[in-house]
Structure 1
Amino acid sequence: MASTNRFRNNLLFFYSAVFFFVAILILGYLYSREKDYRISTLNEELLNVAKIVNNYILFNRIPDTGEYGKIDSLVKLLPQQNLRITVVDNTGTVLYDSSVPDWKTMENHAGRPEIIKAGSSDFGTVVRTSGTTGNNYYYLAKKFKSCFIRVAVVYDINVANFLKAKLLFLVIILVFFIALGFVLFIVTNRFGEAVTGLKDFALSLGSEKPFRTDFPKNEIGIIGARILEMYNNLLRTKNELSNEREKLFSHLNALNEGIAFFSEDKELIFSNNHFTHYMTMLTGELSLLPSDILRIPEFVQTREFLDTALSTLTTQGDIRKTEYNVSNNGKYYNIQCVVFNDRTFEIIISDITKTEKNRIIKQQMTSNIAHELKTPVASVKGYLETLYNDPEMDRKTYKYFIKKAIAQTDRLGFLINDISLLNKIEESAGSFQTERVKIRKIVKDVSNNFKSAIQSKNMKVEADIDDDIIIKGNKSLIISVFQNLMENSVNYAGEGTTISIKVYNRDKRYFYFSFSDNGIGIPEKHLPRVFERFYRIDSGRSRKSGGTGLGLAIVKNAILLHKGEISVRSKSGGGTEFLFSLPRMN
């Protein structure tokens, strides 16, 4: 507010000073012009009288007769009162004076100021006291051919007032200027507000914040308001672009891919965190910067592509791209390079280790499935061919081969069911419905399923599961977990072993289970891989026991589907222990 008043006051003072100066000049000029006009009017009137007197003298041949007294009769006829008419010859001798009866005795007037002026110009005027009468006169002298004729009026208050400019006129002019000054004040005030608003706006530009002010409704105010509107729109657009830029950078940094943008001169413009990380993982060097990427041997293919693409890129809208895979230390990466039509380019590094390993696993799994299917199919085929080629086979042998063929088809069915279950867990996890599952009952049912096998191997099951151990899960999958763990122990732990099942811990979300046996155990080197599909400690282990090689893989995937965890370890006293968690039913 102080800034606004200061500028307005300075502007008002400047314009007021200029206005006052101009007003004084104009008033002075008008006053002088008015005064000159009145003097000119008086002079014209006196000159007319002088000309009348001169014409009278010439008409009556007074210079020849010397009868200058006749002029008295003319003076009486003149409409002007109190005029003093004097006739002076060229030598200064007074020939006639209407106000002095004894004019012949008057002194020589050649030295009178008005006579001197009239001799050198058209006429001469002066205000002075008469040396003859002692009165103040306004004199006007005019030189004619044979004499000077001087006309004078008594310089009294009336004449003095007549010669002065009329004050009323000056007052009117002054009032006009005061009104004009008031208008100037209003205009200056509004102009000052507009200019101050523009100044405040200019000072606020560095803050990059929206500016708000009310401009006056004049031309400058309209211009200022329009500029302010454009600025705020540009600032809003800039802020929106800045926000979008930050979102883009945040998005690029949140991507799992490493991405970097480069200029036409191969100078780095932007790179995200993953780009630097993947470069380090690929090369093993910690001191590399994203700008060093084109000097790395692993990216020689990218460098060669860029050299070719940048030298041949001419068509508008033409975009060049290359893509290839590299690997290092068991990690797989996909490298993409895209050259845009403005000759800038981007390099994208994607970690495809999981995808690539899944592909390898699927290849291995396909190979394993084919291998696992081949054995029972070949066995069934062999048994059937034997029966077909020996129709005279005795009844006992015939039944033996039929029984073996049925066993292999059962094994084939189990294998197909396990593969189907694994695929369903991995690809259609949402299709499994959850419910309240009592673990004590599940363990009891599973133990009963293996009762004959357990008894035949002189094994024992110790289950320490309370009735309140209730989980939220899919019942069939939970049965598969305990079924496969039980089958694994029964088949491989050895005779006379004890199987122990218990809850060793719990919290608000999970129950923590231990499933162990004190059998022959699993060698340490095999423990990390026991959950892999078709993995066998020895090549014939599963086949001899009738297993599919997928049991522990099903266990792990079923527990992971329930958001639990599972691990395996060798017990200090011998045997194997599986530790896993399952979600509680709240």
Structure 2
Amino acid sequence: MKLSYKHKIFFTFLIIFALYSFVLVFFQQKEEKKFKTEALENSLANYTQIIHNYVQQEHLLKNNLEISKVNHLADLLPKDIRITLMARDGKVLYDNDVQNIQKLENHLNRPEIKQTLYLRDRGINIRKSVSTQHEYMYYAQLFDNYFVRVALPYNIQTQKFFKTDNAFIYLTIIIFILVLILLNAVANRFNKSIVQLKLLVSQVKEGKHLSAQVTFQDDDLGEVGEELQEIFQQKLESEKQLKQEQEKIIFHFQHVEEGVGIFNSDNSVIYYNSQLIQYINLLTDQPSLELKEIFKQDFFRPVTEFLSKTDENLNHTSITIYKEDKVWLIEAIKFKDNSFEIQIKDITKAERTRLIKQEMSNNITHELRTPVTSIRAYLETLNEQTLPLDKQQLFINKAYQQSIRLSDLVEDIGLISKLEEAKEQFKKEPVSIYQLIQEVRINLSDRLIANKIQLNLLVDKALTLQGNYTLLFSVFQNLMENSINYGGENIEIIIDNYKEDESYLYFSYSDTGKGLDEKYFNRLFERFYRAQEGRTRNNGGTGLGLSIVKNAIQLHGGEIFIKKNIPSGLTFLFTLKKS
């Protein structure tokens, strides 16, 4: 049977206190008996001294021993005391309990006499008298040439004298009982705290939330229990938060586009998402559901070599894989315990964007170089040569025109970059389309008149759209500038919102200009693309106008298409989302 903490504590302290009480009583009784024996010995010693003094004073041994005088002395001493005087050789000279001392044998062999001779001081013994057949406690002492021996009957009264006082034992028992009661109370209090601690540990072990009923006693152990309860509560909260974070990470891994897998140092799987197995099957020649297959592939060898290295400073590597029309990025991250993470990303779109940006950067450099070179050439000529005034004015005008072209180019580059990377900066507001086109007409009126271009506006004057004014202005201005630059003279421009439904406004922009061969249509909205390079530069275009148009329309939730007019000219069909 397993004892409870209460019983263990109770019985442990009970045994300890019982042993302590037993030892205490034992030594107390021993000391008390020793004290009483010494007291009785002192009394008997005093009696022998009194007798010796009386014998010396009365010179009893020099004269014939007067029995009457010795008896008189015996009457003065306590009742039942036995007095014996004997010579140095053991001969009995007097004994108040024996009438005829002549019959007494020599007492030299008596134990108390032997002890007295051995110690040369005194001797004590308890035994039965040979002569009287009574049990006595004898005390003998040697004086000059004779022994004085006194004895008291070792009867019940004498035995009681040697018995210890039981009051101390009773007091010890009472204290023992009180200690047991107090110990039981302490054990009960301690046991309650232990039970609560066990309940607390049981709840923690089973992963349960801590019960509000787990209360502790107001003592040191209770304080420890409360501290543990708080620590365990914090642990549970931390585990809960950790679990929530793990669920978030798993949820994230399941919904990211990247394939993610976490592996032990022996390549066994800890976790992976569905994208990883899909991407591995796209990268390997033989489809498989085993993730370990990737470690056998030749293209994966740089990663396996990285994972086999023990250099703590190398914890990340990546490789790029080109397969068919896809570009893949494989990254490996090694942790301190030699477990690792594999990520596979489809970076085809990002790589294409990078190439487009690189191409755009090259185009921008090329486009900027032309006006900058021209301006520099004109200014160097003016600075280094003395030219006629009309020639100087011509060069200044040409430099001015190139500076305008450069300014337009920089402005268009800034706008298209903003369209691609900071769309959220374009705030939308109610815009009157009719009023906006009229402002574009006013802005380009000089050029329209110079090229004899007629603008026919078939747009409802009450038409309003929730959009960005600047971008919508750029749409119509770039389309009209495109007609002015490349359509020729004596042409007509028609702008019509030919249809409207619950979600979209439908527009057509057409001109009767020179038009363009359909083979250029697929690339017409590309940045810096020129279907007729030389002519475009001569007319001052930046090569970004139609690209800005397309991006601005897409930002407004619409699409744009182009078709060829018969007999000549172009038509742009586009939609704009109402909100």
1:124 aligned onto 2:117: no
Distance 2:219 2:530 in 1: 91
CA contact (8 A) 2:562 2:573 kept: yes
By how many angstroms is 1:355 displaced? 3.6
Aligned residue type for 1:423: I
Q: Which residue matches 2:15? A: 17
Q: How does 1:108-507 map to 2 (within 5 A)?
A: 118=112, 122-126=123-127, 139-140=137-138, 149=149, 151-153=151-153, 155=155, 159=158, 161-170=160-169, 296=299, 353=351, 354-367=353-366, 416=406, 418-427=408-417, 436-443=430-437, 463=458, 465=460, 467-475=462-470, 477-485=471-479, 500-507=496-503
Q: Taking structure 1 as reference, are residues 497 and 235 closer, same or farther at Cα in structure 2, changes over 3 Å only?
A: closer
By how many angstroms is 1:23 displaced? 0.3
| 1:528-548 alpha-carbon deviations (Å, 9 max, x no partner) | 432112334566785899866
Aligned residue type for 1:534: F
Aligned residue type for 2:138: L
Distance 2:82 2:222 in 1: 69
By how many angstroms is 1:35 displaced? 3.0
CA contact (8 A) 1:438 1:470 kept: yes
Tell me the SS of whatever aligns to 2:561.
strand
- 1:566 pairs, out of 559, 567, 575, with 559
Distance 1:418 1:334 in 2: 39
By how many angstroms is 1:432 displaced? 7.3
By how many angstroms is 1:38 displaced? 1.9
Aligned residue type for 1:24: F
Distance 2:105 2:458 in 1: 161
Q: What is the TM-score of this pair, normalised by structure 2?
A: 0.57
Q: Taking structure 1 as reference, are residues 75 and 568 closer, same or farther at Cα in structure 2, changes over 3 Å only?
A: same
By how many angstroms is 1:439 displaced? 1.3
User: What are the ranges of 5 or more consecutive residues in structure 2 without an aligned counterpart?
Assistant: 116-122, 378-386
Q: Which residue matches 2:546? A: 552
Q: Which residue matches 2:576? A: 581
Aligned residue type for 1:151: A
| 1:324-375 alpha-carbon deviations (Å, 9 max, x no partner) | 99877677899999999xx999999996633443122221344356679999
Distance 2:281 2:475 in 1: 38
CA contact (8 A) 1:459 1:497 kept: yes
Q: Which residue matches 1:513? A: 506
Aligned residue type for 1:29: F
Q: Which residue matches 1:73? A: 72
CA contact (8 A) 1:425 1:557 kept: no
CA contact (8 A) 1:12 1:188 kept: yes
Distance 2:41 2:418 in 1: 125
Tell me the SS of whatever aligns to 1:467.
coil
CA contact (8 A) 1:531 1:553 kept: yes
Q: Taking structure 1 as reference, are residues 335 and 413 closer, same or farther at Cα in structure 2, changes over 3 Å only?
A: farther
By how many angstroms is 1:192 displaced? 8.0
Tell me the SS of whatever aligns to 2:467.
strand
Distance 1:445 1:217 in 2: 87
Distance 1:178 1:156 in 2: 32
| 1:156-210 alpha-carbon deviations (Å, 9 max, x no partner) | 65x4553332344545656676787788789888988999999899889979999
Tell me the SS of whatever aligns to 1:532.
coil
How high is the sequence identity, in percent, across the aligned residues?
21
Tell me the SS of whatever aligns to 2:164.
coil
Deviates more, 1:483-492 or 1:360-369: 483-492
Report the RMSD for the aligned CA atoms in angstroms. Answer: 7.5
| 1:193-251 alpha-carbon deviations (Å, 9 max, x no partner) | 99999989988997999999989887x999x699979989x979x999989x989989x
CA contact (8 A) 2:83 2:148 kept: no
Q: Taking structure 1 as reference, are residues 42 and 457 closer, same or farther at Cα in structure 2, changes over 3 Å only?
A: same
Q: How does 1:12-51 map to 2 (within 5 A)?
A: 12-46=10-44, 49=47
CA contact (8 A) 1:16 1:181 kept: yes
User: What are the ranges of 5 or more consecutive residues in structure 1 without an aligned counterpart?
Assistant: 379-387, 392-401
Aligned residue type for 2:526: E
Q: Taking structure 1 as reference, are residues 148 and 479 closer, same or farther at Cα in structure 2, changes over 3 Å only?
A: closer
By how many angstroms is 1:472 displaced? 3.3
Q: Taking structure 1 as reference, are residues 217 and 289 closer, same or farther at Cα in structure 2, changes over 3 Å only?
A: same
By how many angstroms is 1:567 displaced? 3.8
Q: How does 1:518-529 map to 2 (within 5 A)?
A: 527-529=521-523
Tell me the SS of whatever aligns to 2:501.
strand
| 1:126-169 alpha-carbon deviations (Å, 9 max, x no partner) | 589x9979xx8754365989999562248465x45533323445
